[in-house]
Amino acid sequence: MNLTRTILARTLIATSNNNFRTVRHFYSTQPPRNSSLVQPNHRQVIGRSGKVYSQRTVKIVGAIGKILGYTLQKSTAVTLTNDYYDRCAARFEMEKQFWVQECGLPDSFQTWFQVTQLHMWLLTVRFRSMKPPLGKYYIQEFVNHSFLDTEDRIRGPQNKITKGTLIKNYMKILLHQHRGFQTVLDYAISREPQLNQTDQFLAGVIWRNLFGAAWGKGMGGVKGIFDSKEEPSITSSQLSPSTTTSLEDELEHSLENDVKFPEILERLVIFIRKELVRLDQVSDKTIITGQTSTDQPGLTQFNKI
């Protein structure tokens, strides 16, 4: 059932009205005599990949979609959330200078996943406030796209993991990380008076989930740029004036990096707070049409951190 749903979702994306172009053929003069054999308004459905879908394929997919409970609203949600997810997934590459050079995080799959989850959570908060049942549709398809893409990346040329059991275990771990990060972020901004919703608490959530509870010390077993490549193994008898100077320089450099940490956390807390306010001003109409204007910016027009 899950495989059928996945295939259907991908086909709906390819054949959805928002993602195909139509080619119509009209006669500039009178149609030929044997016009019963020709359709003047024949339409080709061309997916985003350039593949041409026949009318029969479109009808079959539509019929299966209805059987599985897909409506126009659901198929639109499949299409739009695919684009929204792609934009979230692109944020790490777009702001790699910040995440890798300033935050000291490794340029790794794990860092990309966590940064993507942060941006996804921001949009998920907005989806929840949509008129029912739209919010449910958008959140479900949004998460579906995330894990389809994540699995593709695990199998892709950069990671080259092909063993099924290993991929399954990785996906379980990432699913737990997704749920944990989303839940604790929800807790951090909760309006319940008995819950701690201070900026300090939100900063702690960021520290534990984005930085692995260690500033510049890497993530997922991959070292960050602030990590020493080798553990020091110098005894007091080996110290010389030049060695002492180099150790002092290294310590000073380490302290400079440590001073940056609270500043980075502050920037991230401010970014999250500002984005939540911005997203609250995006209308449901803008979300379900994907159209933007000067007066109404788009859902994924994230501010720079």
Q: What is the reported pTM? A: 0.71
Instruction: Spell out the SS3 assignment of the chain.
Output: CHHHHHHHHHHHHHHCCCCCEEEECCCCCCCCCCHHHCCCCCEEEECCCCCEECHHHHHHHHHHHHHCCCCHHHHHHHHHHHHHHHHHHCHHHHCHHHHHHHCCCCCCHHHHHHHHHHHHHHHHHHHHCCCCCHHHHHHHHHHHHHHHHHHHHHHCCCCCCCCHHHHHHHHHHHHHHHHHHHHHHHHHCCCCCCCCCCHHHHHHHHHHHCCCCCCCCCECCECCCCCCCCCCCCCHHHCCHHHHHHHHHHHHHHHHHHHHHHHHHHHHHHHHHHHHHHHHCCCHHHHHHCCCCCCCCCCCCCCCC
Q: How does pLDDT run across 59-89, given as a tens digit for each residue?
A: 787 777 666 655 678 878 999 999 999 999 9
**Structure confidence at residue 86 (pLDDT):** 97
Averaged pLDDT of the chain? 78
Does residue 208 carry a pLDDT above 80? yes
Q: How does pLDDT run across 176-200, given as a tens digit for each residue?
A: 999 999 999 999 998 666 665 689 8
In angstroms, the CA 54 to CA 42 distance is 11
Does residue 41 carry a pLDDT above 50? no
Percent of the chain with pLDDT over 70: 66
Q: How does pLDDT run across 159-178, given as a tens digit for each residue?
A: 889 899 999 999 999 999 99
Least confident interval from 83-87, 131-135, 252-256, 290-294: 252-256
In angstroms, the CA 11 to CA 54 distance is 12
